[in-house]
Amino acid sequence: MFGFINIYKQKGATSHDVVAGLRRITGIKRIGHAGTLDPMAEGVLPVAIGNASRLIEYLTDEKVYVAEVELGIESDTCDTEGSITPKDSRKVEEAEFLTAINRFVGDITQIPPAHSAVHYKGKRLYELARNGVIPDDIPARNVHVDSIEVIEFDGHRAKLEISCSKGTYIRSIVRDIGDSLGTGAVMSGLLRKQSGLFKLDTAVSTEKLQTKADVERHFIDLFSVLPYARYTINEGNLKQFMNGVAIKNVSEYIEGEAVLVECKDRLIGVARKNGLSLNAVKVFPIEELKV
């Protein structure tokens, strides 16, 4: 098996649960996912089956979330699943709220939540937090937020649509908005609408995947989620490319550009432009392309 499937991860399940379930169904061990979702979150989870796992690095990384926000409280996990502490229950005016959220659009620096999978001195932060250890020097990270749109707002609760880069913690954005307002804020719900070119309207629940055939039926066309130029190779040159021989005399494409190499509409591999050649970066066994 070789392909991507767009999973709708249900609330309560871990991303690892999804992968483990697909391994049981397919009998394939090499399965990976792009972009972990916390158990309380739901929505789009791209999953790669077989050697498609080697293509995860080529997926685009823009993310779109819908976050539910509760003002007036704080939490050690930055969401409603942690230990809640009341702060300031005043009603926030809409203009003040808009000013606050606009501070977190563009290139921003954020500190990941203490309860997160970020590595800290050889351990995951959540492992330390479970033992009551909250480091006061968690490294900040630079992320980019394209936009924050208000869907609903009543002065105490809000629903926000956030478009951002890979690695952005929505819980941290919510926490920092609350700090900016002085009221505190926690995330009470999270839906991922989009991950790269994987979108909510094509996501499939794991409940619909009972057999290996079900998984294969829901494979997404590889070219639809890999936004790169394509080069068609004829069957006469196929074996050479599969053996790592560069494709010569190629004038198109930009130096260093990644190019998808296909034969009869099947993805054969990924190459990179080098001078007048396309050098093989990844190749895939022919038998794995029969999906």
Instruction: Select which of 38, 88, 136, 176 is catalytic.
Output: 38
pLDDT of 157 over the 70 cut: yes
**How many whole angstroms separate alpha carbon 162 and alpha carbon 67?**
7
Mean pLDDT value of segment 54-76: 96
**If one looks up domain 3-58+197-224 in CATH, what number appears?**
3.30.2350.10
Domain ranges of the chain: 3-58+197-224, 63-195, 228-289
Question: What is the CATH architecture of 228-289?
Answer: Roll (2.30)
Q: Phi and psi (nearest 5°) for 152?
A: -140, 150
Mean pLDDT value of segment 4-32: 96
**If one looks up domain 63-195 in CATH, what number appears?**
3.30.2350.10
Q: How many residues are recorded in the chain? A: 291
> What is the reported pLDDT for 138?
64
Region of poorest pLDDT, from 43-57, 122-136, 145-159, 177-191? 122-136
pLDDT tens column, 78-136? 999 889 999 999 999 999 999 999 999 999 999 877 655 555 556 565 565 565 655 56
Q: What DSSP line would sit under 99-156, residue for residue?
A: HHHHTTSEEEEEPPPSSSS-EETTEEHHHHHHTT---S-PPPEEEEEEEEEEEEE-SS
pLDDT of 171 over the 60 cut: yes
DSSP class of residue 89 equals -
**How many whole angstroms separate alpha carbon 284 and alpha carbon 166?**
27
Mean pLDDT value of segment 35-63: 94
Mean pLDDT value of segment 133-142: 68
Q: What percent of the chain has pLDDT over 70?
A: 89
Label residue 273 by pLDDT band (50, 70, 90): very high
Q: Average pLDDT over the chain, rounded to whole? A: 90
> What is the reported pLDDT for 136?
65
Same fold, 3-58+197-224 and 63-195: yes
> What is the reported pLDDT for 290?
40
Label residue 41 by pLDDT band (50, 70, 90): very high
pLDDT of 189 over the 60 cut: yes
**What contacts 20, CB < 8 A, 6 or more positions away?**
none
Q: What DSSP line would sit under 277-288, residue for residue?
A: EEEEEEE--GGG
DSSP class of residue 291 equals -
Mean pLDDT value of segment 206-230: 95
Strands (E), the chain: 3-9, 31-33, 41-49, 63-71, 73-75, 84-86, 106-110, 119-120, 123-124, 141-153, 157-164, 185-195, 198-199, 204-205, 219-220, 229-232, 258-263, 266-274, 277-283
Query: Who wins on pLDDT, 212 or 137?
Result: 212
**For strand 219-220 and strand 31-33, is the pairing parallel, antiparallel, or unpaired?**
unpaired
> 150 and 95 in contact (C-beta within 8 Å)?
no
> What is the reported pLDDT for 116?
56
Q: What percent of the chain has pLDDT over 90?
A: 76
> What is the reported pLDDT for 174?
97
> What is the reported pLDDT for 288?
47
pLDDT of 291 over the 50 cut: no
**What contacts 186, CB < 8 A, 6 or more positions away?**
69, 70, 73, 74, 75, 78, 79, 80, 82, 84, 171, 174, 175, 178
The pTM of the full predicted model, rounded to 2 decimals, is 0.90
Label residue 238 by pLDDT band (50, 70, 90): confident
Mean pLDDT value of segment 44-54: 96
**What contacts 156, CB < 8 A, 6 or more positions away?**
70, 71, 72, 89, 91, 92
Task: Compute the CA torsion angle 32, 33, 36, 37 (nearest 10 deg).
Answer: -120
* Neighbouring C-beta atoms of residue 267, cutoff 10 Å: 23
Active site residue 38: yes
